[in-house]
Structure 1
Amino acid sequence: MTTATYDDHADWYNAYMSPSSGGEFIDRLHTMLRELLGPGEGLCLDVCCGTGAHAAPAAALGWTPVGIDLSHGQLRHAAGRLPVAQGDATALPLADDSVPAAICVLASTDVPDYAAMLREIARVLTPGGRFVHLGVHPCFIGAFADWSEGTRIVVNERYADRSRTLDSWNPAGVRARVGAWHVPLADLLNATLAAGLRLERTTETGSGGIPDLFGFTAVKPRPATPRTTSAAPAALAHDRRLPSNR
């Protein structure tokens, strides 16, 4: 099981992700979540739910959010916001085809094997169920991107580096504390398709001209309906038999 790196930072992260601290960033994030998830009912599995900071937008849409996370420290905070269970996102303790919706918010860089997590999400979704991914923009956020100039982002060759790192242009940010696994854009989308999910919508947003958030909605296809064979063609063929030689 993956080490819960957030346990040592759970109290700090709970404060960091509060609306008063996150401000405009949290507002944009939750607006994206509402638009991508849409209204519905039934369980909405919050995978890597952390402190439960993103449960309220799902609940406001009519869903019943339930959370799972590896970090016991974060679940102490989440338990007051939604029902939670401790578990590994790559081995979800749920039956096949059991939840109509799932979300993963700001956690793709916390999972060493996001493709495995996507396969698990696809497994537990009901046919027709939807999954919403929301994360930092894979093209512009990471150890490979320097935001120190604000209006100009410098991206270097480390974009191709998928290994975990604590390097960050911001030494006071989340990644300098807990590290991150970079998931390039192509890897993210290809892993979603390989899991058997169908991309329905993508979106990106930023406070300026460069997006810092990327999200998509993907759907688990319903089984194909068996095609019924009409008896009419056979009857027609029968009617068109050549006349006898009587």
Structure 2
Amino acid sequence: MARAAYDEIADWYEERFLVEQPPDNLGIGRALRDLLGVGEGSCLELGCGTGIHADTVRDLGRTPLGVDLSAGMLRHARGRLPTVRADVARLPVGKAAVPAVVAVMAHTDMPEYPAVLREVARVLRPGGVFVHVGVHPCFCGGFADRGRADAVVIRPGYLDRGWTTESWTDRGLRDKVGASHWPLPDLLHAVLDAGLVLERLAEGGAPTPVVLALRARAPG
């Protein structure tokens, strides 16, 4: 299996990045809790990274399971939840096998995200819930300069789909591992085209949203 980009920065991510940029400052945990809700059974996290969202899933009564391509990130995650190393666009999970799937701040690391969403639809039980929590495509990306706390400067480039390492800062992730950008319509259409039923949306971060989150369900 190919070496993942995050393997090179896994220790930095765990020991520096998460300390300097706590996820709850952006409303990530709140969005995950509100949209996933209380339930039971397994909850598969796609691109689980170091597993920092596992406790939130457990607090909702669910059993977190993680999948990620990066062996380096999974080395940190294994103390937090059961994991498997795999390509999330080709999940080693049976059809209609799980009641819940989440992807938290991970879709920009997945150049095949529409294929990932089709896998979500395949592995979810009828009526199962999918929660996406990700960077806001309108206000985050190589086209967005977030250097000022009170304003975001948007340059041309929002409509450009694809992979980039362009970033306004050298203290984040994108200049190190790159990112896949999906304009808002493309992102929402990918959810619908996978056959999932969109239910709710949420935004997080101020004064301009950093996070866009959604809940969808498998039909049935």
TM-score, normalised with respect to structure 1: 0.86
Larger proportion of strand: 2
**CA displacement at 1:3 relative to structure 2:** 5.0
Match in the other structure for 1:137 = 136
State percent identity of aligned pairs. Answer: 49
Say if 1:17 and 1:64 are closer, same or farther in 2 by CA, change over 3 A.
farther
Larger mean Cα displacement after TM superposition, 152-161 or 24-33 = 24-33
Query: Post-superposition shift, 1:193?
Result: 0.3
Contact 1:17–1:26 (Cα < 8 Å) also in 2: no
1:5 aligns with 2:28: no
CA distance in 2, matches of 1:166, 1:132: 26
* Residue 123 (str. 1) matches residue 122 (str. 2): yes
CA contact (8 A) 1:146 1:154 kept: yes
Deviation digits for residues 111-152 of structure 1, max 9, x if unmatched?
Answer: 111000000011000000000000111100000101123222
The reply on whether 1:215 has 2:213 as its aligned counterpart is yes
> In structure 1, what is the equivalent of residue 64 of structure 2?
65
Higher-Rg structure is: 1
Change (3 A) 1:2 1:89: farther
Residues 17 and 101 from structure 1, CA distance in 2 versus in 1: closer, same or farther, beyond 3 angstroms? farther
Q: CA RMSD in A?
A: 1.5
Change (3 A) 1:152 1:103: same
SS at match of 2:158: helix
Structure 1 gaps of 5+ residues are 223-246
Q: Secondary structure at the match of 2:157?
A: helix
What is aligned with 1:228? none
Determine the C-alpha separation between the residues in 2 that align with 1:220 and 1:24: 28
Q: Distance in 2 between matches of 1:3 and 1:190?
A: 30
Segments of 5+ residues of structure 2 without an aligned counterpart are none
Within a 5 Å distance, the mapping from 1:165-184 to structure 2 comes to 165-184=164-183
Displacement after TM superposition at 1:173 (Å)? 0.7
Q: Which residue of 2 aligns with 1:83?
A: 82
CA contact under 8 A between 1:199 and 1:218: conserved in structure 2? yes
Aligned counterpart, 2:184: 185
